[in-house]
């Protein structure tokens, strides 16, 4: 678990007025205002400027404890740890206050921690505790140092000691929560997180820690109040709006999830994942045009991502816009020319507009890239039927059925190809197998009618044509086949 040391840098300003009160006596100029200016620079984060002033002071006040102590603090903030340690040692030598010993060990331990020397830090904090066993911050930082060494049991004991001294110490409760959280002791972690919120409801990250536990417990409903509490403090946090939308998606509250992704987009109009996720949900709600718009926004933000191009292409196919689909699949292929699904989908769109040679080329390419997809063979076989390549078509349906023994459409299509090859009895076997697998396939009943008609079984043919029309009453091809069948019988009479 990553730790952040709580560093207390003791700039002993309480000493400064006493130390500098007599600086001006005897005609000398008081240097307290100069020291105060350095302190101001320090508080503003201008540590280099502060050090420069401390250096000037020490030229005339070489044995000034407060200046060494303050410069050590500034050096620490600048990452100049060797210089800081030397100054703290000098301050200790000059100090007339026994209490400073504890401060010295504490500050030096902070430096060792910052430098990554956790063992030395632990020794320093332990010595500080020996000097003042009631100083809770020493125990807190000791725990953090143990954390750095992954000695979590010792860290836990140190944090518990902090709470024994200071029951309202937010940092200790938070760190105990994080320790239990990392160890999957979720109920203990929740207890400490709840206490943190009681002590400081503005500690917003704790709400996310609680939510993370609920996610791991697969309790998405419980995450929502935590996200809401966080967003009351930070209403413009895109990350948390996204988490909330994801949770609602998982709960099936799709409209609410769409609203949350819309909020993300409102806050960040260039958030591609939000457009993509909202597009998926709009597709799920059958709002296909809205989904297309969202994918278009994602593509506009970055055109080098294959996924939204493929998804928009599929939506174009679903909304009977095959030419637009072909453009998207072609762009996807330009980005990744070994993506079998892109060739397959472009082939399907080419088939829709009747561009059969191009469709066949794309099916060939898709199969060359992936020989284990039954749909590829089935649809290529159907194109070959349309191109009157019936023997080749049968071979494709054979491959599809090898890959999927229960592929009803492949059996049905092979039946049609065999019928075209004047193999009506073999066609009948395949058609019956297709209906055995799926007895709601109107196309299979239509083909069954054609096969029985070929076999001169007029009673079964008529029954099959009627069943096809029952299952697909708006299909004009099936109705026409029945009409042609009846006309043929009438002409023979």
Which helix (H) or strand (E) segment holds residue 315: the answer is helix 306-318
Number of C-beta neighbours around residue 33 at 10 A: 11
Q: Is the dihedral of CA 37, 39, 43, 49 positive or negative?
A: positive
Task: Answer whether 67's CB lies under 8 Å from 61's CB.
Answer: yes
Decide if 1-165 and 167-235 have a common fold: yes
When pLDDT is averaged across residues 286-304 and rounded to a whole number, the result is 98
Instruction: Give yes or no for residue 322 having a pLDDT over 80.
Output: yes
Mean pLDDT over each residue of the chain, to the nearest integer: 94
Q: Nearest 10 degrees: CA dihedral of 97, 99, 104, 107? A: -130
Q: Quickly state the pLDDT bin for 49 (edges 50, 70, 90).
A: very high
Regarding the domain delimited by 389-493, which CATH topology (the fold level of the hierarchy) does it fall under? 1.25.40
Regarding the domain delimited by 1-165, which CATH topology (the fold level of the hierarchy) does it fall under? 1.25.40
Least confident of 57-61, 170-174, 291-295, 431-435: 57-61
CA distance 293 to 296: 5
User: Would you state the pLDDT for residue 2?
Assistant: 40
Which tens digit of pLDDT belongs to each residue from 62-97? 899 999 999 999 999 999 999 999 999 999 999 988
Domain map of the chain by residue range? 1-165, 167-235, 389-493
Contacts of 477 (CB under 8 A, 6+ apart): 446
Q: Quickly state the pLDDT bin for 29 (edges 50, 70, 90).
A: low
When pLDDT is averaged across residues 284-290 and rounded to a whole number, the result is 98
Q: Quickly state the pLDDT bin for 387 (edges 50, 70, 90).
A: very high
Contacts of 444 (CB under 8 A, 6+ apart): 408, 411, 412, 415, 431, 434, 435, 438
Which has more confidence, 347 or 21? 347
Q: Looking at domain 167-235, what is its CATH homologous superfamily?
A: Tetratricopeptide repeat domain (1.25.40.10)
């Amino acid at each position: 678990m990553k730790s952040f040391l709580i560093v207390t840098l003791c700039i002993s300003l309480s000493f400064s007025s006493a130390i500098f009160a007599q600086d001006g006596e005897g005609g000398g100029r008081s240097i307290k205002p100069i020291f105060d200016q350095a302190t101001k620079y320090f508080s503003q984060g201008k540590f280099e400027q502060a050090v420069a002033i401390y250096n000037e002071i020490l030229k005339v006040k070489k044995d000034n404890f407060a200046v060494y102590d303050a410069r050590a603090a500034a050096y620490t903030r600048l990452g100049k740890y060797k210089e800081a340690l030397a100054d703290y040692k000098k301050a200790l030598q000059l100090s007339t206050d026994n209490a400073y010993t504890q401060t010295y060990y504490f500050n030096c331990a902070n430096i060792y921690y910052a430098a990554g020397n956790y063992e030395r830090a632990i020794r320093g904090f332990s010595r500080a505790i020996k000097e003042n066993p009631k100083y809770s911050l020493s125990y807190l930082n000791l725990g953090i140092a143990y954390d750095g060494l992954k000695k979590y049991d010792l860290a836990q004991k140190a944090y518990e000691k902090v709470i024994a001294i200071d029951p309202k110490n937010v940092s200790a409760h938070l760190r105990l929560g994080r320790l239990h959280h990392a160890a999957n002791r979720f109920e203990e972690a929740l207890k400490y997180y709840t206490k943190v919120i009681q002590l400081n409801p503005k500690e917003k990250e704790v709400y996310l820690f609680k939510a993370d536990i609920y996610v791991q417990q697969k309790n998405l409903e419980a995450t929502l109040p935590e996200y809401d509490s966080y967003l009351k403090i930070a209403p413009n946090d895109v990350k948390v709006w996204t988490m909330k939308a994801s949770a609602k998606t998982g709960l099936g509250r799709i409209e609410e999830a769409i609203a949350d992704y819309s909020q993300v987009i409102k806050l960040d109009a260039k958030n591609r994942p939000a457009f993509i996720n909202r597009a998926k949900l709009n597709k799920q709600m059958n709002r296909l045009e809205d989904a297309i718009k969202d994918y278009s926004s994602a593509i506009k933000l970055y055109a080098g991502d294959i996924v939204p191009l493929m998804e928009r292409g599929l939506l174009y196919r679903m909304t009977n816009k095959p030419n637009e689909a072909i453009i998207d699949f072609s762009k996807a292929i330009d980005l990744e020319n070994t993506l079998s699904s892109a060739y397959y989908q472009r082939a399907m769109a080419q088939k829709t507009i009747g561009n059969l040679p191009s469709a066949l080329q794309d099916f060939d390419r898709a199969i060359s890239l992936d020989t284990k997809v039954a749909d590829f063979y089935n649809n290529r076989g159907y194109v070959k039927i349309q191109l009157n390549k019936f023997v080749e078509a049968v071979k494709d349906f054979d491959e599809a059925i090898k890959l999927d023994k229960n592929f009803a459409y492949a059996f049905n299509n092979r039946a049609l190809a065999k019928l075209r090859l004047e193999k009506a009895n073999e066609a009948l076997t395949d058609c019956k197998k297709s209906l055995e697998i799926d007895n709601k396939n109107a196309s299979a009943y239509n083909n069954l009618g054609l096969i029985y008609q070929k076999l001169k079984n007029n009673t079964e043919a008529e029954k099959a044509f009627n069943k096809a029309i029952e299952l697909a009453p708006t299909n004009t091809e099936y109705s026409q086949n029945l009409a042609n069948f009846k006309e043929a019988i009438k002409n023979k009479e």
